[in-house]
Homo-oligomer: A and B are copies of this chain.
Amino acid sequence: MEQQDINGLYPIGTVSEITGVNAVTLRAWERRYGLIQPERTPKGHRMYSQTDVDKIQLILVQLGQGIAISRVAESMDLREQSHDSNEDIWVQYRLRMIEAISQFDENVLDSIYNEAMSLYPVDIVTRRLLTPLLTHLGERWQTTEGSVAEEHFFSVFMRNKLGARFHHRNIRNTGPCLIAACLPGEHHEFGLLLFALAAHARGYRLILLGADMPLSELPHVIQRTQSDGVVLSGSIVLDTDLFKTELNTLAHTSSIPVFIGGHVAENYHAEIKATGATPLPTDLFGTLQTIGSVLPITRNKNT
């Protein structure tokens, strides 16, 4: 639904080039199975939208899995069925992604990610693939030479992927409004994004401020947006004293609850509590439970 008006109109030859599917085949699919019925010009030329192209890419993934083309139409709907949730699959995915990262090959990385996402819901992919992958890479990056670049490469990729998902949601939530940001000095938004996605899925409204956010700025934001809570995340603290002072000010001047997540929450558990803020557990589920107990989501309709 993004830019249908002008951008999404490719002729069949271009689509063929993009997807690698022969034009004749595309027509055959349409004729035989009614898959992908593009717009037509007044003279009958097919004009494929971006959505159509995406659909073809998805079909290609299915084909790669060995699913017959005739059954792809059905399996597109039923693909969320319990695929044999073998532990093996996730290890396979992980290894393939690591390989792609070490080659800086974004095409491969992208196709693996898409493959996983097309077969499993985002929650599963996050828990079974992304989080383990991150810790795995964390270790690798401490030992292997030339790995800072790998980290950057992968971070940008994941951030963009997750960010896209975050901004793509079309539901306007009605739950409590949370401000989400990284602590000063923290430049890795990955965890924060995962949290934001999960929180949004549960009905919270979110204002995402990203990395390296000065705490002194937050009262302004809170006041202007009339939010209901602040969630901060970080793994390191540059200046302990400053951190305590600023956090104290924040927690006391603002009348709304302040939560702290990430490794900081573990290492400075006592200090955080002393300021009146609430430390969060390291797992996503526990985090959402903690926040939910303070700021419950009013379920209006739960069919």
Contacts and interface: CB of A to CB of B under 8 A. Distances in A.
B155 A19 contact: no
Contact of A11 (B2, B68, B149, B161): B68
Interface residues of A, number: 79
A159 interface: yes
A214 B150 CA distance: 12
Given A110-B167, A160-B164, A3 B118 contact: yes
A156 B118 contact: no
A273 interface: no
A204 B224 CA distance: 43
B187 A224 contact: no
A5 interface: yes
B149 A213 contact: yes
Interface in A104-119: 104, 106-107, 110, 114, 117-119
- 10 nearest interchain CB pairs? A160-B163, A14-B66, A164-B164, A146-B220, A6-B75, A156-B210, A152-B209, A149-B217, A149-B221, A104-B225
